[in-house]
């Protein structure tokens, strides 16, 4: 009997690892955390590949009801919780693991790709990213992303901005909205940035230009994120040219 916390990777049903798939197949119940990111496939497509019913768990379910619905039942059954991307990257599932361990539940983790390492496709050194920050909806009075950007910029680090989403309402912040927020809050529109959409898929969109120019480009895939690079090594510069909008 166990709780399996399984990363699904970034794009569709096929990004699961063999290890993750084996654990799902021996699970009595399967939940998917469906509020912090988005897959490009339907729940039905997941169910067809896994051969199991996949129940959607929203934030309330994971944060409030999970003791009753996930942790305690995992003392007597095998329960899988599926997380888009990696279970511990830019998400808070460490709390679920801690509660399960305290309750005496055996926990197994299956890691997978995350947005945090997929941005390596830009050629920017992952070691040179500073603090990651999220731009939330309703950001009129929110300054944290700007503060984080300034701290990173002062030490030459790259900044990754994650953009808010609400999959239940099919609402995803766009790169264009994020740039509008940044410029409105004093970020120089002539800085070079990189917009990234639907990483992990063959049709991922990656474009580099000044914030001013990037703001008017079309990114019609989701989810999306944005990077403002810090100091660039010539190898990083060369790779960015590849994504440069002419």
Ligand X SMILES: C[S@@+](CC[C@H](N)C(=O)[O-])C[C@H]1O[C@@H](n2cnc3c(N)ncnc32)[C@H](O)[C@@H]1O
Binding site for ligand X (CB under 6 A): 10, 36-37, 83-86, 89-91, 114-115, 162-163, 165, 196-200, 223-225
Cβ at position 23, least distance to ligand X in Å: 18
For ligand X, give the closer residue by CB, 55 or 133: 133
Cβ at position 90, least distance to ligand X in Å: 4
Cβ-count burial of 227 within 10 angstroms (0-12 exposed, 13-18 middle, 19+ buried)? Answer: buried
Q: Which residue is nearest to ligand X (CB)?
A: 85
H, E, C per residue of 164-222:
CEEHHHCEECCHHHHHHHHHHCCCCCCCEEEEEECCCCCCCEEEEEEHHHHCCCCCCCC
The secondary structure of residue 158, as a DSSP letter, is: B
Cβ at position 49, least distance to ligand X in Å: 19
Measure Cα distances from 232 to 103, 195, 237 in Å.
Answer: 48, 17, 6
Cβ at position 64, least distance to ligand X in Å: 19
Cβ at position 1, least distance to ligand X in Å: 26
3-state helix, strand and coil shares in percent for the chain, rounded to the nearest 5 = 40, 25, 40
For ligand X, give the closer residue by CB, 57 or 73: 57
For ligand X, give the closer residue by CB, 40 or 151: 40
For ligand X, give the closer residue by CB, 27 or 114: 114
109: helix, coil or strand? strand
Cα(141)–Cα(64) distance, integer angstroms: 28
For ligand X, give the closer residue by CB, 133 or 210: 133
């Amino acid at each position: 009997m166990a709780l399996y916390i399984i990363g699904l990777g970034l794009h569709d049903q096929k990004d699961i690892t063999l290890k993750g798939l084996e654990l799902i197949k021996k699970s009595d119940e399967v939940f998917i955390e469906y509020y912090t990111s988005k897959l490009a496939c339907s729940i039905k497509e997941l169910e067809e590949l896994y051969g199991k019913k996949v129940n959607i768990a929203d934030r309330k379910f994971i944060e409030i009801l999970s003791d009753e619905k996930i942790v305690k039942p995992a003392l007597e059954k095998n329960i899988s919780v599926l997380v888009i991307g990696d279970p511990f990257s830019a998400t808070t599932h460490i709390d679920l693991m801690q509660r399960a361990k305290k309750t005496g539940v055996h926990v197994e983790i299956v890691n997978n790709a995350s947005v945090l390492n997929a941005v390596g496709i830009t050629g920017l050194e992952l070691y040179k990213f500073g603090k990651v920050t999220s731009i939330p909806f309703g950001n009129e009075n929110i300054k944290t992303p700007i503060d984080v950007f300034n701290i990173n910029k002062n030490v030459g680090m790259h900044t990754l901005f994650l953009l808010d989403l609400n999959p239940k309402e099919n609402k995803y912040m766009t790169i264009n909205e994020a740039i509008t927020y940044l410029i409105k809050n004093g970020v120089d529109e002539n800085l070079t940035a990189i917009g990234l959409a639907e990483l992990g898929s063959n049709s991922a969109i990656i474009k580099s230009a000044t914030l001013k120019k990037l703001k008017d480009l079309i990114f019609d895939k989701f989810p999306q994120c944005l990077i403002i690079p810090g100091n660039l090594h010539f190898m990083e510069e060369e790779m960015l040219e590849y994504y440069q909008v002419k």
